[in-house]
Amino acid sequence: MRTGRQYREALKDGREVWVLGEGRVDDLSSHPSTRAMVDAYAAWYDRHQDPAWRDILLTPADAGGERRPRAFEIPRGSDDLRRLGEAISKVAFLSGGNVTHTPGYGALIALGLLDTLQAMGLSAAEVANASTYRDELARTGRFLTFSAGGATIGLRFREAEADRAAIRVVRERDDGLVVSGKVGMHTASPFADDVFVSGATRRTAESEHFNWFIIPVAARGVRVVARKSAARHADPAVAPLSHAYDELDAQLWLDEVFIPFERVFTAETPLGSGRSAGKDGAPARDSNLVAWLLWHQLHGWLAKLEFGLGLGLAASDVMGFRANPAAVEQLIDMVVEVQTIRTCLTAAECDPDVSESGFLLPRQVHLASGSLHALGVRQKMTETLRRLPGSSLVVAPSPGDFADPDMAAGLGEAFGGGGYTAEQRAALLNLIWDHVSSGLDGRESAYELHANGGVPAWRMRLRGWFKDYDGLANGVLQCLAIDMPHIRVSGVAQPSGPRPAVPGGPVAPSASIQATEGPGGRPGEWVGPPAKG
């Protein structure tokens, strides 16, 4: 696998990256808005050579003594899922859960693609291409990120339905397709090598099937348009997370981009339509495409909450409230929330699903429960962590304030004591502020609501994945002394409204006025009642 230095060199491939509000970025490794994230990804690669991380990130030695990066291995049993999940969590904790997409995440995208294509059985050649690509990622460490392929807002307002798709095929060549269009929000594409686009794009107007694409970021005609950088203090010591971990969610603009057929794949239906259900109660095939991603995502959400709990525990000593019963109760509440999500992840890994093509999936229903809990407690834990340190959180000094001797003396009196200097106490307060009150924190909250649909979408997923409706309803009848008809309530699992969003997918304006996916709907079109949540 490549080293961090090799990753940096690979970014000098002529890619066109534009950061809104700042213009074109010529060198990602040196530009103020991107260099810290390049450093973070380079560190991800180099960590695989670090003896302290070897047993976490590498597989045990095989008969030949070789150890491979665990992130690129296919899980074959629950133990594999558990070890890979542990690796994902430990890496995510380092950034406070702010680095959500890594090359390891890309390996899970490729695995979902391979599994889905095998289950559909439409083309042996495409399955072989997907397998070859996944093996290439494992061999090289190439970085793949994900887009659900939703059209940008301007395209969705076009009158003709055929013009509303994110990507349109301009022409077909003997060796591939030439495409144009604009693809909605996704994460880390300025820093990735490739973007997997699962948009609902037909090759021709008469085609029965849809296309998925793997598009190199550096391909001719590709422009990555990244959002504005997260607002942050100029001093990295005041905003250590915001300066280091801004992944820059982006759009992908395509102007007659050539994609070889080896990177074009056939889908039965648009992603998220749910019409390609699995056999014998297995998850739907289009869910399998993102199943490992939802698992990776929940590990990231857990890392963010664990980081917050860690800050609360550290603050209890630094701020002197570890013996305060009311404060301790709030800390224990945070422990309960974290442990609940840990339990859901453990259940998903120890009680897995098996896909139609034989791959091990973290069980979807456990992921849905954990994700709903994470979404429900996120704001609660944020508010707790804002409250626990007291008003000192709002007025914590920066390192530069201590440079003036007169100010330093006053700050020492105002913030020092109890075994901590004013500088030490201020450093922790600034870290807490950056975690729960910064632009980066607001970005993460907004992104997750848009990329995943928030609580309504996760309730809809759980509604479909829960399998015990009839069993529980009929089980209670055993306590009755009278014969009862067999109850059938499993229809509760079939949602009548919009399908849930997927990671990097299009945005729903509200729970009741939905922007439908793909070319079939326009913004604001009524497609069903609001989900409760």
- DSSP string for residues in 218-253: TSTTEEEEEPPPPP--SSTTTSHHHHH-----EEEE
pLDDT for 352: 94
DSSP string of 165-199, one letter each residue: SSEEEEEEETTEEEEEEEEEEESSTTT-SEEEEEE
Residue of 191, 180, 193 lying closest to 221 (CA atoms): 180
CA angle centred on 392, ends 391 and 397, rounded to 5° = 140
Residue 330: inside a domain:
yes
User: Helix 325-350 to helix 285-318 angle, to the nearest 10 degrees?
Assistant: 150
Q: Are strands 250-260 and 264-267 parallel, antiparallel or unpaired?
A: unpaired
DSSP string of 382-414, one letter each residue: HHHHHHTTGGGGTSPPPGGGGGSHHHHHHHHHH
- Summarize pLDDT for 274-323 with one digit per residue, the tens: 444 555 545 555 578 888 999 999 999 999 999 999 999 999 999 999 99
Listed in sequence order, the residues at least 6 apart from 79 whose beta carbon sits closer than 8 Å to its beta carbon are none
Residue 163: inside a domain:
no
Helix (H, G, I), strand (E, B) or coil at 17: strand
Total number of residues shown for the chain: 533
Residue of 500, 17, 47, 441 lying closest to 239 (CA atoms): 441
Distance CA 3, CA 6 (A): 5
Cα–Cα distances in angstroms (integers) from residue 365 to residues 387, 415, 463, 466, in the given order: 34, 48, 9, 6
Distance CA 316, CA 323 (A): 8
Distance CA 106, CA 405 (A): 51
Distance CA 218, CA 269 (A): 28
Domain total in the chain:
1
Helix (H, G, I), strand (E, B) or coil at 24: strand
- Region of residue 518 (left: phi > 0; alpha: psi -120 to 50; beta: else): left
* Phi and psi, residue 186, nearest 5°: -155, 170
Tell me the one-letter amino acid at 70.
Answer: R
pLDDT for 284: 58
Distance CA 171, CA 149 (A): 19
Distance CA 57, CA 64 (A): 18
CA angle centred on 12, ends 8 and 18, rounded to 5° = 105
pLDDT for 201: 72
Residue 426: inside a domain:
yes
pLDDT for 457: 84
Residue 349: domain span: 285-447
Q: How far apart are the first and last CA of the chain?
A: 44
Tell me the one-letter amino acid at 420.
Answer: Y
Helix (H, G, I), strand (E, B) or coil at 257: strand
* Phi and psi, residue 466, nearest 5°: -70, 130
Distance CA 386, CA 392 (A): 10
Residue of 112, 51, 93 lying closest to 310 (CA atoms): 93
Residue 404: inside a domain:
yes
Q: Which residues of the chain have pLDDT under 50?
A: 274-276, 281, 500-533
Residue 470: inside a domain:
no
CATH number where 358 lies: 1.20.140.10
Listed in sequence order, the residues at least 6 apart from 35 whose beta carbon sits closer than 8 Å to its beta carbon are 28, 29
